[in-house]
Chains A and B, each alone.
Chain A
Amino acid sequence: DAGVTQSPTHLIKTRGQQVTLRCSPKSGHDTVSWYQQALGQGPQFIFQYYEEEERQRGNFPDRFSGHQFPNYSSELNVNALLLGDSALYLCASSPAGTSGGDYEQYFGPGTRLTVT
């Protein structure tokens, strides 16, 4: 049973560039959440996708956008990169049919983004 997968593992970008990160949820999961984890901090919620729509959004600017595909995989896009966007980007998936109910989120290995 494949867990949550993310690509790429590491990425180095220059300020002002754009980046796309990818995530495939755990088998049987239909909901994908994205988090940003800066060094020494806990993960911060960016947004969540369910049924190909953004269901909830954290306190992140519009430079952060996403998409979910019919196979439940998801992308996180960040435009006009800033040095402060350097972080570990985590994707988490949760089980199908969990809208409004209890569930647990399982994290992928993350993408380490460095902005220079």
Chain B
Amino acid sequence: QKEVEQNSGPLSVPEGAIASLNCTYSDRGSQSFFWYRQYSGKSPELIMFIYSNGDKEDGRFTAQLNKASQYVSLLIRDSQPSDSATYLCAVRSDFGNEKLTFGTGTRLTIIP
């Protein structure tokens, strides 16, 4: 079982709709969760992080964390063509363990 799993996609969403990206992780002791956006040929850009169960909103983005289900998601409201990218989920297992473990990413395409 992979440590961090994401559906590779591609996920196609009409412009203006809500895009929902999902991620599951295997280490129940994981503490910190991050979403990065990566455009083709570019480096990952941090867009959201969440440490506590529940929802965290930042503009059009909402991260949701459920530690009991070992599940983290990212919602993108009012999707724009510029949101078309690969979204990487990353997990840090515990405080003092510095490495981020990434999923393989979900490729999102917003259809105008």
Contacts and interface: CB of A to CB of B under 8 A. Distances in A.
Interface in A86-116: 88, 90, 92, 99-102, 104-110
Contact of A101 (B95, B99, B100, B101): B95
Contact of B100 (A55, A105, A108): A105
Interface string B72-101: 000000000000000010100001111111
A108 to B, nearest CB: 6
A28 interface: no
B16 interface: no
B104 A42 contact: yes
20 contacts: A33-B100, A35-B100, A42-B88, A42-B103, A43-B102, A45-B100, A45-B101, A56-B97, A56-B99, A88-B43, A90-B44, A100-B95, A104-B34, A104-B46, A104-B49, A106-B46, A107-B43, A107-B44, A107-B46, A108-B43
A28 to B, nearest CB: 16
A56 B34 contact: no
Given A56-B97, A106-B46, 20 more contacts: A31-B98, A42-B4, A42-B88, A42-B102, A42-B104, A42-B105, A45-B99, A45-B101, A48-B99, A50-B98, A56-B99, A58-B99, A88-B43, A99-B96, A100-B96, A104-B49, A105-B34, A105-B100, A107-B43, A109-B42
A43 B36 CA distance: 11
Interface of A: 31, 33, 35, 40-45, 48, 50, 55-56, 58, 88, 90, 92, 99-102, 104-110
Nearest to A58: B99
A48 B97 CA distance: 10
Given A40-B104, A102-B51, A48 B45 contact: no
Contacts of B90: 42
Interface in B35-55: 36, 42-46, 49, 51
A105 B46 contact: yes
B99 A90 contact: no
Contacts of A44: 102
Contacts of B102: 42-44
